[in-house]
């Protein structure tokens, strides 16, 4: 699709390796820096969809950079610079083997589990009698494993510690940081007329210090509702107006796809792709309170490469 980057194949000076995730291409420089390119790929149900979404990478990268800056008083983070609208360069950290998911509301995966009759996720009990999108009495933390391929899996804290993914001391620290980051994210969202419904955080270590890594509070890692009208919609049993990737999952499910074996991704028409792009831009403007400025995409791959190389040359000068 026009203006969408779905693949990069850069070879930078002193490049040690490259890792290609569902959305990001991550280049290791000298085992010191990570160059993270937020592509326009989009995934759902842990499957990369066949069409890229124009400007999605820019949206994700710029929102993540803003929230990394807005939370660095809570926990240090990996970010050093944003040399291009689609690129963040930062410290190479040793990733911890869990993702910290926190849920303030009964939505998405938690609702699907609840609707299926389950009342516990990751050892945390959910109250009886809840409706979809109801607020939990206290935000619940439901960690997952970090799968290189396929689905991340829910995992209880005791299993995380027993399997040696992190120590008990580090896990307790991760829970504390997760709650503080979620509270900050909700405060910022509320000031912009939104509710941060749920989100996930990834952490790593430099020596013995825990760092926040990867993205934060983006529509790929988080779910947002509009605050205005939330209570009224809940009272009437109506769907919430939301800004997140959940609308893509809902479209896929309505078209018979949930990432299961034998299922085929429905056709993503140009009109549908543009509508998804517009939703991402809408969230950017809503959460930041700033107009989204579309970067020049006339020769986007060359632009990205040039900006990365200029930063690395100056950094290692």
Q: Indicate the average pLDDT of the chain.
A: 94
Q: 21 with 143, same domain?
A: no
pTM of the model: 0.89
Q: 117 with 70, same domain?
A: no
pLDDT digit string, tens, across residues 242-264 = 877 778 988 999 999 998 989 99
Q: 117 with 187, same domain?
A: yes
Measured distance CA(278)–CA(129) in Å, rounded = 36
Split into its structural domains, the chain has a count of 2
Q: 134 with 231, same domain?
A: yes
How many C-beta neighbours within 10 Å does residue 173 have? 15
Give yes or no for residue 170 having a pLDDT over 80.
yes
Residue 122 lies in a domain: yes
Q: 24 with 44, same domain?
A: yes
Give yes or no for residue 154 having a pLDDT over 90.
yes
Quick one: tokens of 199? 């989100």
Residue 256 lies in a domain: no
27: CATH: 3.30.200.20
Q: 112 with 188, same domain?
A: yes
pLDDT band at 150 (very low <50, low <70, confident <90, very high): low
Q: 236 with 300, same domain?
A: no
Q: 83 with 187, same domain?
A: no
Residue 73 lies in a domain: yes
* pLDDT given at position 147: 63
**Burial call 72-92: b when 16+ CB within 10 Å, e when fewer:** eeebbbbbeebbbbbbbbbbb
* pLDDT given at position 169: 97
* pLDDT given at position 202: 96
Q: Between β-strands 94-105 and 87-91, what pairing exists: parallel, antiparallel or unpaired?
A: unpaired
Q: 87 with 114, same domain?
A: no
Residues spanned by the domain of 235: 94-244
DSSP 59-81: HHHHHHHHHHHHTTTTS-BSEEE
Ramachandran assignment for 133, one of left (phi > 0), alpha (psi -120 to 50 degrees), beta (any other): left
């Amino acid at each position: 699709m026009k203006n969408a980057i779905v693949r990069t194949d850069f070879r930078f000076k002193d490049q040690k390796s490259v890792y290609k995730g569902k959305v990001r291409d991550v280049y290791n420089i000298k085992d010191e820096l990570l160059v993270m390119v937020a592509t326009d790929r989009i995934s759902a149900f842990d499957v990369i969809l066949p069409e890229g979404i124009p400007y999605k990478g820019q949206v994700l990268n710029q929102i993540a950079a803003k929230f990394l800056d807005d939370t660095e008083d809570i926990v240090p983070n990996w970010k050093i610079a944003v040399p291009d609208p689609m690129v963040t360069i930062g410290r190479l950290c040793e990733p911890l083997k869990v993702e910290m998911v926190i849920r303030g509301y009964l939505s998405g995966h938690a609702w699907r589990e609840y609707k299926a009759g389950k009342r516990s996720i990751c050892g945390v009990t959910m109250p009886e009698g809840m409706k979809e999108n109801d607020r939990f009495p206290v935000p619940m933390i439901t960690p997952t494993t970090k799968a290189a391929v396929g689905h991340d899996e829910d995992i209880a804290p005791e299993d995380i510690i027993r399997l040696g993914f992190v120590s008990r001391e580090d896990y307790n620290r991760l829970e504390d940081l997760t709650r503080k980051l979620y509270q900050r994210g909700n405060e910022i969202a509320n000031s912009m007329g939104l509710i941060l419904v749920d989100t996930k955080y990834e952490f790593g270590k430099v020596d013995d210090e825990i760092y926040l890594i990867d993205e934060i509070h983006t529509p790929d890692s988080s779910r947002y509702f509009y605050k205005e009208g939330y209570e009224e919609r809940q009272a009437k049993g109506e769907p919430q107006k939301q800004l997140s990737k959940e609308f893509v999952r809902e479209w896929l499910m309505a078209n018979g796809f949930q990432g299961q074996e034998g299922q085929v991704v429905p056709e993503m028409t140009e009109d549908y792709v543009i509508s998804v792009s517009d939703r991402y831009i809408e969230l950017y403007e809503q959460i930041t309170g700033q107009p989204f400025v579309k970067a020049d995409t006339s020769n986007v791959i060359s632009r990205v490469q040039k900006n990365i190389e200029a930063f690395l040359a100056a950094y290692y000068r």
